[in-house]
């Protein structure tokens, strides 16, 4: 999928507008990080806040980089510039669905998924989308265009998984100085 994205300038440009900027890879993550397991991390994009989207695991030299060479998808980690981070998706397709389909990953993790089936979170995200549409009236059409081009699922169906994954301590980034990043979401029951 990464190879396909890089080969289509309009997709690269539109993903940049959705704050998934492949050119920010040259800047690197906010700081050097690793996972407690020692699995390798590969930055694939950055956002305007200085955060990094990183693939977990080794690509074993395949052509597209988003699987480990045997067809098994690589999870996607977010490393924020404010010391927050965690797993956001089990594969690049789901991560892109979140990036394209939500106001931002930050907005989607700022309110707990909750016992209400995510109703409060969805209301919050709908309000954030309305604010974005004031400056970007083509938002929904651009989302649909990217979903079709990249065969992305709807983000709404991924919200519960996002919160579950982001709470996974095994995928909490650790700085090279040994400082563990903050969770992007409150742990269930917290």
Question: Can you tell me whether residue 20 is helix, strand or coil?
Answer: coil
Are the C-beta atoms of residues 93 and 79 closer than 8 Å to each other? no
Tokens of 64: 């597209």
End-to-end CA distance of the chain: 37
Q: What is the average pLDDT across 69-78? A: 82
Three-state DSSP state, 190: coil
Residue 186: predicted pLDDT: 77
Q: pLDDT tens for residues 16-47?
A: 999 999 999 999 999 999 999 999 999 999 99
- Could you tell me where the DSSP H helices lie in 22-175? 92-101, 105-109, 119-135, 139-150, 159-166
Cα separation, 44 vs 168, in Å, equals 21
Token pair for residue 65? 């980089």
Give the confidence band of 72 by pLDDT, cuts at 50, 70, 90: confident
Q: What is the pTM of this model?
A: 0.92
């Amino acid at each position: 999928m990464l190879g396909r994205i890089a080969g289509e300038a309009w997709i690269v440009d539109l993903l940049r507008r959705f704050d998934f900027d492949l050119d920010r890879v040259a800047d690197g993550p906010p700081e050097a990080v690793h996972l407690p397991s020692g699995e390798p991390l590969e930055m694939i994009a950055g956002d305007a806040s200085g955060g990094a989207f990183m693939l977990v695991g080794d690509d074993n030299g395949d052509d597209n980089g988003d699987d480990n060479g045997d067809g098994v998808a690589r999870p996607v980690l977010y490393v924020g510039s404010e010391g927050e981070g965690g797993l956001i998706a089990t594969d690049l397709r789901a991560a892109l669905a979140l990036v394209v389909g939500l106001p931002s990953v930050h907005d989607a993790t700022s309110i707990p998924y909750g016992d209400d089936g995510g109703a409060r979170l969805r209301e919050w995200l709908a309000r954030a989308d309305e604010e974005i549409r004031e400056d970007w009236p083509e938002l929904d059409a651009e989302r649909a265009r990217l979903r079709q081009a990249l065969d992305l699922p709807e983000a709404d169906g991924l919200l519960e998984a996002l919160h579950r994954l982001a709470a996974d301590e095994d995928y909490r980034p650790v700085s090279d100085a040994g400082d563990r990043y903050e969770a992007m979401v409150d742990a269930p029951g917290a």
